[in-house]
Amino acid sequence: MPDLFVFGGEGDYQTWKDYMTDLSGEEWASQTEFGFKSPDGKTVGFPYAVEGYGITYNKDVLKAAGIDPASLTNYDGFKKAFEIIDQKKSELGLTAVCSVAAESGQMYWSTGNHLFGYYLSGGLKRGDTTYIDQLKSGKVDAGRLGQFADFMKLLFDYSDKNTLISGTYDDQLALWAQGKTAFITQGNWIDPSLPDYNVKFGCGIAPLAFTKEEMKGVLADCPSWWAVYNKGTSIDACKAFLKELALTEEGQKCLVSDCGMISPYTTCKVSPKTPLAMSLKTYVDAGNTYSWEWTKMPEGISMNATGKLFELYAKGEIDKDGFVNMMQTAIADYVKK
C-alpha cells in the first residue's frame, strides 16, 4: 500500500475505510468545509481541489445580447435569455444557443451524473441528503423531477441538434469554444482546454437553475480525496506534507498556480488565474455552493439506467411525463438489484 492513496467518494470509502487514518485533529481540517467525513464525523479525506459546474457562458455573447448573467438564477430567467439570444443568432454569429451532448453511450456522465446532480442537491444546504436518500430507496420527488424535466426540455430545444444527439465531449466543447453557442453544460475542468481553441472571449459559470424559485449557487465539491494509510510507517510525514500543501504559501501556489486548481481552504491567499476557476471561486468564497450528492448514487446507475432516458428525451422519443415516469421506474428497478 502507498502511504497516501486517493479515493473517489462514498463507494470507495466503504472499500477502504479500514485503512484510513483519522485526520480530524489536523490544523487544515477546521479550515475547509470540503473534507471527507466518516459516518461518525471523523475527517478521513484530505481535500486538495474544488471542482464546480452549472452552465458555462460566453460573457461577450451575453453582453451583446443585453443579458445580465446575474439574471440566470431560475427557469424563467433562462427561458427569457434563450429566447432573446435565439432571435439574435445571426447577428451574434451563433449556430445555436446551447452546446449540450446527450448521447448516452459516451455522455451519460454529463447528463446522468452532472446535470441530474442538480435535481439531487441544487438549491439545498450542503449536506442536505433529502433527494439522494429518496433515490437510494428507489424513489423520486415527482414534482421536483418535473421541474427538472421542464428545464432539460428548454436546454434541448435551444441546443445544436447534431451535437445534442450524436456529439462527443470534444464536439460539445469545440462548438462552444469556437464561439458558436452562448452556453455549454460543463464546469471549470474545461479551463485547461481553452488555450487549445485560442479562446479570447470572457466566460463564467451560472447555476443550472431549473426551479421557478431562485437558485444562486452552483454544485461544487471535491472530485476525490487523499487518505493516509493507517498501517504505514510514514503517517507523521504524510500529515506534515498535507499540512504544508494546505497551509503554506508554497503549497498553495503548487495547488492553485502550478496545478490550476481551486483551493478548498479558507486561509488560501493564492487566487486562480484561469477564467472558470476564477468564476467558481466567487461562489466558493460566498458560500453559494451545493454538495455533489450524485456521487452517492448506486454505482453504474447513470451508465446503465438513467443516462439512456436523457438521450430519449433529447431525441423527442419521450415527453416530460415519459421522462419523469421512466426515470422513477429505472431508479426503482436499479435499486432493487
Residue extents of the structural domains in the chain: 4-52+220-286, 54-218+293-336
Quote the CATH superfamily of domain 4-52+220-286: Periplasmic binding protein-like II (3.40.190.10)
- pLDDT number for residue 259: 85
**Fold equal for 4-52+220-286 and 54-218+293-336:** yes
- pLDDT number for residue 260: 81
Q: What is the pLDDT of residues 55-104, one digit of tens each?
A: 999 999 999 999 999 999 999 999 999 999 999 999 999 999 999 999 99
Q: What is the pLDDT of residues 7-54, one digit of tens each?
A: 988 888 999 999 999 999 999 999 998 999 999 999 999 999 999 999
- pLDDT number for residue 89: 97
The CA-atom distances, in angstroms, between 207 and each of 2, 122, 175, 233 are: 38, 9, 21, 45
Per CATH, is 54-218+293-336 categorized as 3.30.750.200? no
DSSP string, 138-152: T---HHHHHHHHHHH
Element of type H or E holding 247: helix 235-247
Beta strands 55-58 and 183-184 are antiparallel
Q: Hey, what's the cell of 45?
A: 479525506
Low-confidence residues of the chain: pLDDT under 50: none
Instruction: Yes or no: say if 92 and 300 are a contact pair by the CB < 8 Å rule.
Output: no
pTM for the predicted model, two decimal places: 0.91
Sign, Cα dihedral of 244, 42, 9, 124: negative
Instruction: Yes or no: say if 211 and 79 are a contact pair by the CB < 8 Å rule.
Output: no
Q: Cα separation of 249 and 185, whole Å?
A: 33
